[in-house]
Amino acid sequence: MSENGALVKVEDLQKRFPVTKSVFRKAEHFVHAVDGVSFEIAHGESLGLVGESGCGKTTTGRVLVKLDEATGGRALLADEQGLIDVAHIRQEDMKRFRRRVQMIFQDPYESMNPRRTVYDTVAEPLAIQKIGTRLEREEKVAQLLQLVGLTPPASFLFRYPHELSGGQRQRVAVARALVVGPSFVVADEPTSMLDVSIRISIMELMLRLADELGVSYLYITHDLAVARYMCDRIAVMYLGKIVEVATTEELLANPLHPYTRALLSAVPVPDPSYKRPPVEIKGGISKAIDPPATCRFLDRCPWAIDVCRENDHPPLEDKDDEHYVACYLVDKISA
Amino acid sequence: MTAPAASPSPTRGDVVLEVDHLVMNYRTKEGLVSAVEDVSFDLIEGDSLGLVGESGCGKTSVAMCLLRLQADNAEFHRGEIRFKGENLLALSEEEMRRHRWNDISMVFQGAMNAWNPVYRVGDQIREALRVHFPDMTVAEGRERIRALFELVGLNPDMMDRYPHEFSGGMRQRAVIAMALSCNPTIIIADEPTTALDVIVQDQILKELKKVQHELGMSIIYISHDIAVIAEVTDHLGVMYAGKLMEYGTTEEVFHRPRHPYTFLLLSSTPSITGPRRKLAPLEGEPPNLLDPPGGCRFNPRCPFATEKCEREEPPLEEIGPGHTVACWHHDQVPKTLLHELRV
């Protein structure tokens, strides 16, 4: 990936939530939800962000679409007019930004207004962006429904969410996200609420549309098998930090960070004859309230030595051919 | 209809539970919902049985029937559920209560979020114990809970804590401790790890397996997660639209699926092992059980369906030792999964 070929460039992004006992008191403690995260996504690339619940992956996604405000760092988005810094966006640039960046949410039962028809839902971004006449919008919506496989569109346009199945709702969510022609879509577990059979068809749909429309995804998921199916590269997150990034197959075949290794060995395999390696990890995930400066994974790491206890959280370093890992003991562990 | 084979494996224990041609409908305003249609299977002592299928295929309905906790509008039309030979469906409510929890207990779906937030977890388990052992003293109860907590890998001191002080995984462990509290012969685990992260899921499933071996219990796992089922079960029943479509050892069903539904389900399951490959989506949606399709219930979605499938319902037929399938065209199902063909 070349420096200027990146569509999204995230630099040292930070999001802290204050923990307050009383609204009248100044916060003294902070949850470091996203704690200095950097990555790039190329045009048309899809990056998977994986990790356990509470690791900050959803917050990262929300900051990138500006549903949450970053408390530090930068997130740059490239378009034909130059770069937009998501963290310091000007009010007059907001509309332009929203045309470029969209989000697909996890729960298709929660993310749609039950009192609005499919047409209302999908056409709303067009109306807000003042794109086309009413007639053109209707045509555009019908075209999108066709594209996401809700055919014939005429029979879906005026249905309400309760008249749709979970899979159909998620197709509407995809249509709504893509209707303004964004170049970057944050997808937060878009298939985790769906049955396996429907899951694959939504995943296939998103892959096909990425290809046809040239969309890049930040695909947030806890399911590594899904990430493998959807993503060109995978970033593993732990307590607000990215601990490893590599191309998908490289990460699965050659995990370097002890957390990635544990995560991979815990994923069940749909083959009764397959024997998984033991999961080498201690304890459970802790809360990221005022974490110490040392490696975030220290408490759970079976390999930790004095180097890890005496130094700050290790930097994310390129170990081999764009395989980045943040661990002092990489060479020792992989040996 | 052919009787289902109970894969008799002589090295294992006896059959503890027989579900025999069970038919259960829900009566609704719109009509009868055919939720469980002629389901039969056996559970062997010490064995793990998995029930898989899409949402709404009747997995949880079957489980609720086993405990006789089915919804009020449920009606049994036919069939028996025999626990060690005794038909549970013929018992009075009072007699059934003696079996519930003592012989068959359940880890309900989402139970880890059902703890009462204002009572200590230990007190809530003691409440359950008191119903079944009215003579148990407080000290005896605490001793029992202490042992249960140790069994499921929880610090016994946690019994005096409140639910909010437990993590998700710990709450689920406590739910399992509660299900174990009366030393049941059978535990039904309905999606026991669905809301948990993979690392915690791995720990919980290992713990269940360990406890199962120590106590010699049988477990019925209900899950939509095919990979989890592959790892923890010995036998497997695949359900579709209220019917059991395929039954056999987990190895056999995974390696030689003979029902088109099983075949397509396995073909659409992503994995992190093996070569990266294109998966085949399973087109269409499960039928409305108010008016299930005639003939085979899977025929509208089945790539192998013929006219016969629309007319006649296939019986559950034994096609190998302990491997039964309800399909007219099971011999046409490819020997290799779809995605493996495309590599």
Residue B311, judged by CB atoms within 10 A of its CB (0-12, 13-18, 19+), counts as exposed
pLDDT over 60 (residue B10) = no
Interface check A114 vs B, CB under 8 A: no
Nearest residue in A to B231, CA atom:
A272
The pLDDT value recorded for residue B340 is 60
Nearest residue in B to A263, CA atom:
B199
Nearest residue in B to A272, CA atom:
B230
d(CA B114, CA B127): 15
Q: A53 to chain B: which residues are within 8 Å by CB?
A: 168, 197
Nearest residue in B to A205, CA atom:
B281
Report yes or no: B149 and B159 within 8 Å, Cβ to Cβ: yes
Nearest residue in A to B251, CA atom:
A272
Chain B residues contacting A via beta carbons under 8 Å: 54-55, 167-169, 197-203, 224-228, 230-231, 233, 250-251, 254-255, 264-266, 268-273, 276, 279-283, 285
The pLDDT value recorded for residue B250 is 96
**B59-118 residue pLDDT tens:** 999 999 999 999 999 999 999 999 999 999 999 999 999 899 999 999 988 888 899 999
Q: Do B230 and A270 touch (CB under 8 A)?
A: yes
Closest in A196, A224, A272 to B272, CB measured: A224
Q: Which residues contact A82 (CB under 8 A, 6 or more apart)?
A: none
Confidence class for position B339, pLDDT limits 50, 70, 90: low
Q: A252 to chain B: which residues are within 8 Å by CB?
A: 272
**Annotated domain spans of chain B:** 15-115+166-341
Q: For the range B294-298, what are the long-range contacts, defined as Cβ-Cβ under 8 Å and sequence gap of 24 or more?
A: B296/B326, B296/B327, B296/B328, B297/B37, B297/B240, B297/B241, B297/B242, B297/B243, B298/B240, B298/B241, B298/B245, B298/B259, B298/B260, B298/B261
Query: Mutation test of the interface with chain A: which of B267, B273, B336, choosing the one with the most A Cβ atoms within 10 A?
Result: B273
pLDDT string in tens for chain A (335-residue length): 444 579 999 999 999 999 877 777 788 899 999 999 999 999 999 999 999 888 999 999 999 999 999 999 999 999 888 888 988 888 888 888 999 999 999 888 888 999 999 999 999 999 999 998 999 999 999 999 999 989 899 999 999 999 998 889 999 999 999 999 999 999 999 998 888 878 888 999 999 999 999 999 999 999 999 999 999 999 999 999 999 999 999 999 999 999 999 999 999 999 999 999 999 887 777 778 889 899 999 999 999 999 999 999 999 999 888 999 999 998 887 66
DSSP output for A197-263: HHHHHHHHHHHHHHHHHT-EEEEEES-HHHHHHH-SEEEEEETTEEEEEEEHHHHHHS--SHHHHHH
For domain A3-334, give the fold.
Rossmann fold (3.40.50)
Query: Mutation test of the interface with chain B: which of A163, A170, A197, choosing the one with the most B Cβ atoms within 10 A?
Result: A197
Q: Do B197 and A225 touch (CB under 8 A)?
A: no
Q: Which residues of chain A from 286 to 325 reach within 8 Å of chain B, CB to CB? A: none
Nearest residue in A to B199, CA atom:
A266
Closest in A200, A272, A281 to B250, CB measured: A272
Q: How far is A318 from chain B (nearest CA, A)?
A: 24
**B261-287 residue pLDDT tens:** 999 999 889 999 988 888 888 888 889
Backbone φ, ψ for residue B262 (5° rounding): -60, -45
Q: A55 to chain B: which residues are within 8 Å by CB?
A: none
Q: How far is B198 from chain A (nearest CA, A)?
A: 6
Question: Structure pTM?
Answer: 0.89
Q: B233 to chain A: which residues are within 8 Å by CB?
A: 272
Q: Residues A177-201, buried b or exposed e (16+ Cβ, 10 A)?
A: bbbbebbbbbbbbbbebbbbbbbbb
Nearest residue in B to A201, CA atom:
B281
Q: How far is B201 from chain A (nearest CA, A)?
A: 8
Size of interface A-B (CB pairs under 8 A): 114
pLDDT over 80 (residue B237) = yes
Nearest residue in A to B278, CA atom:
A229
Q: Is the peptide bond before A152 cis (omega within 30 degrees of 0)?
A: yes
**B111-164 residue pLDDT tens:** 888 999 999 999 999 988 988 888 999 999 999 999 999 989 899 999 999 999
Closest in B197, B251, B272 to A222, CB measured: B197
Q: A229 to chain B: which residues are within 8 Å by CB?
A: 270, 276, 279
CA distances from B301 to B18, B33, B142, B290 (A): 31, 20, 54, 18
Q: Which residues of chain A from 260 to 289 reach within 8 Å of chain B, CB to CB? A: 262-264, 266-274, 276, 279, 281, 284-285
Question: Helix A134-147 crosses helix A166-178 at what angle (to 10 degrees)?
Answer: 130
Say which residue, A2 or B293, is predicted with more confidence.
B293
Q: Do B268 and A197 touch (CB under 8 A)?
A: yes
Closest in B168, B198, B276 to A266, CB measured: B198
Question: Helix B260-267 crosses helix A196-213 at what angle (to 10 degrees)?
Answer: 50
Q: Do B272 and A228 touch (CB under 8 A)?
A: yes
Q: By C-alpha distance, which of A246, A262, A299 is closest to A52? A: A262
- Element (H or E) spanning B59, and its range? helix B59-66
Q: Do A272 and B54 touch (CB under 8 A)?
A: no
Q: Indicate the class that CATH gives domain B15-115+166-341.
A: alpha beta
Confidence class for position B3, pLDDT limits 50, 70, 90: very low
Confidence class for position B338, pLDDT limits 50, 70, 90: low
The pLDDT value recorded for residue B162 is 95
Nearest residue in A to B288, CA atom:
A165
The pLDDT value recorded for residue B2 is 44
Give mean pLDDT, residues B24-53: 94
pLDDT over 70 (residue B297) = yes
d(CA A283, CA A252): 23
CA distances from A180 to A130, A136, A143 (A): 10, 13, 12
Interface check A42 vs B, CB under 8 A: no
Closest in A165, A228, A279 to B199, CB measured: A279
Q: Which residues contact A162 (CB under 8 A, 6 or more apart)?
A: A114
Report yes or no: A9 and A46 within 8 Å, Cβ to Cβ: no
Q: A225 to chain B: which residues are within 8 Å by CB?
A: 227, 269-272
Q: How far is A265 from chain B (nearest CA, A)?
A: 9
Confidence class for position B341, pLDDT limits 50, 70, 90: low
Q: Do B283 and A201 touch (CB under 8 A)?
A: yes
- Element (H or E) spanning A62, and its range? helix A57-64
Q: Do B281 and A200 touch (CB under 8 A)?
A: yes
Q: How far is A270 from chain B (nearest CA, A)?
A: 4
pLDDT over 70 (residue B11) = no
Q: Do B227 and A267 touch (CB under 8 A)?
A: yes
Interface check A249 vs B, CB under 8 A: yes
Q: Do B224 and A269 touch (CB under 8 A)?
A: no
The pLDDT value recorded for residue A284 is 73
